[in-house]
Structure formats: C-alpha cells, structure tokens
Amino acid sequence: AQSVTQLGSHVSVSEGALVLLRCNYSSSVPPYLFWYVQYPNQGLQLLLKYTSAATLVKGINGFEAEFKKSETSFHLTKPSAHMSDAAEYFCAVSHYGGSQGNLIFGKGTKLSVKP
Amino acid sequence: NAGVTQTPKFQVLKTGQSMTLQCAQDMNHEYMSWYRQDPGMGLRLIHYSVGAGITDQGEVPNGYNVSRSTTEDFPLRLLSAAPSQTSVYFCASSTVVRANEAFFGQGTRLTVV
C-alpha cells in the first residue's frame, strides 16, 4: 500500500530564509508525486508534480522539489521565503490507473513566515 | 471553463438528518473522488469513481453513499448525519492523461449539531 509521511506538522521560518518541507513516500512501484498548497479557507492548488521525467521539478511561486528514489523522498524547497508563502502544504502520491489512481495525502505541514 | 464545482459552501445539519453534497466537473475527467479534511489528519479519501457507473470505497466510507450516473456528476450523500461527520469536504477530479493531477472544488464546510 502506498503512503506519505510529512515530517513536521508546523514549520516556522523568517522572511528571506530557506523553506524546506519534508515528504517521504512508501510505494512498491514508481509513483507520481505531488505538492499542493492550501491557503486559509480555500481549496487545494497544485504547486508541482513528479511524473518520472526530470527528478528536479520546478513549480509555481519559486518552489521546487527533488525526487530521490534511494531515499524515497520528495522534499519541497524555496530559497527565500515570502510572507505570502504562509499556508498549509500537502504532499501526495498516486500511481497509474485503477484504484491506485487516487491521491493519498500526507497530514500536511503548516508553514509560518515571520517578518 | 468552471473546473470542479461544489455546492453548498456551508451547511449546518442536525444529527440524523440526511443531505447530498453536489459535485460537477466539466473537464471530462474519468476519476472523481471525495475527501474529508480534519485538523491534523490531512485529506482522507471517502469514495471514488473511475468512470460512470463505477464507484468504490476509500479509507473512510462509513456513513456516506455515492453514485456516478454521468461523467460530470458525483454527488455525496450523508445518510444519517452524526457529529463525527463535521468536517470540510472536497470533491476532486483527475485523469491519467495528466498523471492523476487532481483538480479540487472549493470545499463544503459541514457542521453537524
């Protein structure tokens, strides 16, 4: 069965500092991996996705994530945090087709950005 | 292009009442799914569908019913509401053509009193 673990339910950084949100997955076959962002009282918006092409994936708002098969990780980074990055971030995994086409989500990491 | 449309946005129910959350998508996606979001729990899959006429249970299906008579619509029925079903509900659609990237509705905040 596939699963996702996000380390740290809350992460706090200063404005301008590096953002690092951790995600590890469990999967017996090559996965599709996603990062979504949720701003307060809103739905989920896709930041980026990995689909077995390039291992370094660039997304919106300056975020990027690197797929590391040996570490079963897909950590999200941004070189310089902005106040507008404060939100909750979700990592998710799925596979091609059938019942495994659904996204399985981690529990989320709430990012706070201090001025 | 509306994407995924969920109604209502807010709902208060009394224990034991039933209701239907509506979800419609206009992207011709084969997958549709319902999630519930609770603090500290992430999003948990309730039911999903891989095409019209085909539905299956997710992680937390008890107390909910679904049907998929058309590609576009995927309503979620609460049979007899309980306080434990107080949550935010999200409908999503996706397609294998886009590597299962899920498109979400804006959510329904449901309170059961």
Rounded Cα distance, B28 and A25, in Å: 29
> Is residue B8 scored above 90 in pLDDT?
yes
pLDDT at B80: 96
Rounded Cα distance, A16 and A97, in Å: 40
For chain B, the distance separating the N- and C-terminal CA atoms, rounded to the nearest angstrom, is 36
pLDDT at A30: 77
pLDDT at B60: 95
For residue B96, the 8-state DSSP code is G
Tokens encoding B59: 């992680």
SS3 state at B79: coil
Whether residue A102 and residue B105 make contact (CB cut-off 8 A), yes or no, is: no
- Judging contacts by C-beta atoms under 8 Å, the chain B residues touching residue A34 are 101-102
- List the single residue in A with minimal CA-CA distance to B36: A105
Whether residue A101 and residue B50 make contact (CB cut-off 8 A), yes or no, is: yes
